[in-house]
Amino acid sequence: MQIKAVAFDVDGTLYPNASMYLRSIPFALRRLCLMYSFAKVRRQVRKQRPVDDLAQTQARMLAERLRISPERAQERIQTEIYGTWEEVLDRVSPYPYVRECIKDLRDLGLAVAVTSDFPVDSKLVRLDLDGLFECRLWTEQSGYLKPHPEPFETLAECLGVAPRDVLYVGNSYEYDIIGAKRAGMYAAHRVRRPVPQTIADFSFADFRDLSRWVRAVVA
C-alpha cells in the first residue's frame, strides 16, 4: 500500500452529524417542504447520469417539486440550503483530535485535502479548520455528487497524484467508501462499528487511531 495523500469528507466525518441535525431542528421545522424536497432531489441526482449542469438540474427538479420557478428554486438553494443552514455550524465542534490528526498527516509529508457535497470554504472557517488543507473541493465543481467517480478523480487531480495513491476518509459507506474504492482509492471509514464484510481498508472511531494506522502504513 502506497499513500501520498489523504482526503477527508466533511459532514459527519470531521464533525458529528448528530450535533448538526439537533441544532438544525428549528431551521428544518420552518422549512419542512424545502428540506424534504431537496433531500429527495439530491438522492435522485446521485443516481442520474449523465448530468449536463448539476446546479441547473437540481434547481429544475426542486422547482418541479415546490411548484416554483427554477430561478426561485436556485435562489432558495443558495440562500437557505447553502447559506442560512450552514450557520448552525457556529455551534458545532469537530470530533476530538481532528486537527491533531490532520497536522500529524502533514508532518508525515502527505498532501491533505477536503471535499464535500456542500460548499466547503466557509464551513471550514466555521469549524476552525481553515488553512489545514492543500486542496479543497466542492463536489459540484466536478459536475457530479458522490458516489459518482468524477468528484474523486477531480480531487486526485487537485492533489497532483493518481487515485491509487489517495486515502479517502469518510463516514458514509454508500457515498464515501464505495465511491472512493470504485475510483481506485484506498478508503478509511469513520464509524463506531465496522460494517460487516466492509470493503474499507481501515475503520475507526478515534482520529488518533487513524493517525497511528497511516503512520504505520507509510513508515
39-52 pLDDT tens trace: 999 999 999 999 99
Q: What is the topology classification, in CATH, of domain 5-16+93-218? A: Rossmann fold (3.40.50)
- Counting every residue written for the chain, the total comes to 219
Residues 116-171: tens digit of each pLDDT: 999 999 999 999 999 999 999 999 999 999 999 999 999 999 999 999 999 999 99
Mean of the per-residue pLDDT values for the chain?
A: 95
Report the alpha-carbon distance of residue 142 to residue 67 in Å, rounded: 28
Bridge partners, 190 (sequence order): 204
* pLDDT at residue 1 tops 90: no
Dig out the grid coordinates for 108 from the structure. Answer: 508525515
pTM of the model: 0.94
Residue 112, pLDDT above cutoff 90: yes
Does residue 33 contact residue 146 with C-beta atoms inside 8 Å? no
Residue 219 has pLDDT above 90, yes or no: no
Residue 206 reports pLDDT greater than 90: yes
| Rounded CA separation 94/15 (Å) | 4
Q: Where in the chain is the domain with CATH 3.40.50.1000?
A: 5-16+93-218
Task: Using alpha carbons, select from 130, 112, 99, 137 the residue that is nearest to residue 14.
Answer: 99
